[in-house]
Chain A
Amino acid sequence: MKSSVIVFPGSNCDRDIADALEKMQFKNKMVWHKETELPKSDLIVIPGGFSYGDYLRSGAIAGKSLIIDEVIKAANSGCLVLGICNGFQILTETGLLNGTLLRNKNLKFINKDVYIKVINHESKFTNKYKRDQVLKINIAHNEGNYFTDSKHLSELHNENLIVFKYCDKEGNIDDKSNPNGSLKNIAGIFNSKKNILGMMPHPERMIDDIISNKDGVNLFSSLLN
C-alpha cells in the first residue's frame, strides 16, 4: 500500500508517522506542502504538530496551502485520508471534515496517555479492532475540544461516523473520562463516506512495546487488510 505524508513548516510528528508506516510495510513518501502534485497514494496522512505555529487558528493556514487542493481532489475521489492531531484540525479547516477543534476546556496543553473506545470497528481504518475495545493512546494537544452543530452531531450518531470516544480504563464514557471537554467525548470522526478519519490521539506513538504499547498497530493493519 502506498502512502504520502504531507509536511508543513511546524509539523513535528511527520517522522513518527513515516516510521510507523514503514514499519507496517507501507511504501511511504514525504510530500512538502509547496508541491502541486501528489504521488500516487492509497493513503494520505496529515501529521501532527504545530503547522505555521498555530497562527490565526490551529490548522487554518495549512488548510489553504498549495498541496491541500490535491488532497481535497484525492479525498473526493475516494482516497483514504488520515489526519492526526494537528492533521485533524487541518482537515476541519479544509472542510473535508465538519466541525472544529476548540481550545481544551481546562485551557491547558495536555500530554498524557488516555483511554479511548472503538465505537465504529467496521471501517477501513478500524476493522482489526473489536467492538467497544478500549485502547490506551497518547494525546498531546492544546485544541482538542471537538465541537459541531446539533444537525451534524445527529448525523455523526445516525450514520455511525464517530470512530473513537474518550473513556476510562473500564470503558465508561463520562465527563470524568473526557480530557479536553470534547462534545460527547468525541476523539475521532469520519466524513460521511468514511474514507477520511480525523483523530486527536496519536496511534503512531503506540506501535512498539519498548517506548509505549502496541494499541495503535491495528489501525495500520486494518488499512492493509
Chain B
Amino acid sequence: MKFSITVTLKKDVLDPQGKVVKNTLVNMGMNNLKSIRQGKHFEIEVNETDPIFAEKKVDEMCKKLLVNLIIEDYKINRI
C-alpha cells in the first residue's frame, strides 16, 4: 500500500526559498503568479492490507519524525 505525504510550512512561517523562487519566476515574465510556498514530498510504501491501520502508521511516522509540527503542516494521500 502506497501513500504520498506533502509537507508544507505553516501559513505564519516565513518561507524565504518560496519567496526567491516566486521572485525569479516573476522576473522570467510569469506575471500572473500570486504566491509560492515550497514544501517536501515523501512516497511511502507499507506492508499492510488494512488501509485505515496503514494510514494510522503513516500518520505516526509523520508526527514522530518526518514533520516538524511547530513549523510544518502535512497531508497524507493514498496512491
B79 to A: closest C-beta gap in Å: 21
A147–B71 touching, CB < 8 Å: yes
Residues of chain A from 37 to 71 with CB closer than 8 A to chain B in the complex: 56-57, 60, 64
B33 interface residue (CB < 8 Å to A): no
A56–B66 touching, CB < 8 Å: yes
Interface segment out of the listed A6-14, A96-104, A112-120, A211-219? A96-104
A56-B65 contact given A102-B71, A147-B71, A148-B70, CB 8 Å threshold = yes
Which residues on the B side are within 8 Å of A107 (C-beta)? 16-17, 20
A170 interface residue (CB < 8 Å to B): no
Which residues on the A side are within 8 Å of B13 (C-beta)? 102, 147
Count residues on chain A whose CB falls below 8 Å from chain B CBs. Answer: 17
B1 interface residue (CB < 8 Å to A): no
B36 interface residue (CB < 8 Å to A): no
Count residues on chain B whose CB falls below 8 Å from chain A CBs. Answer: 10
B64 to chain A: closest residue by CB: A64
Please classify the interface of chain A as helix (H, G, I), strand (E, B), loop, or mixed, using the class held by over half of its residues: loop
A181-B14 contact given A56-B66, A60-B65, CB 8 Å threshold = yes
Which residues on the A side are within 8 Å of B16 (C-beta)? 103, 105-107
- Chain B, 1-22, contact with A by CB distance < 8 Å: what is the 0/1 string? 0000000000001101100100
B71 to chain A: closest residue by CB: A100
B68 interface residue (CB < 8 Å to A): yes
Residues of chain B from 14 to 34 with CB closer than 8 A to chain A in the complex: 14, 16-17, 20
A57–B20 touching, CB < 8 Å: no
B17–A99 touching, CB < 8 Å: no
Whole-angstrom distance between the alpha carbons of A102 and B14 in the complex? 9
Q: Which residues of A contact B (CB under 8 A)?
A: 56-57, 60, 64, 93, 98-100, 102-103, 105-107, 147-149, 181
Q: Which residues of B contact A (CB under 8 A)?
A: 13-14, 16-17, 20, 65-66, 68, 70-71
- Can you list 19 A-B pairs with a CB-CB distance of less than 8 A? A60-B65, A64-B65, A93-B68, A100-B68, A100-B70, A100-B71, A103-B16, A103-B17, A105-B14, A105-B16, A106-B16, A107-B16, A107-B20, A147-B13, A147-B70, A147-B71, A148-B70, A149-B70, A181-B14
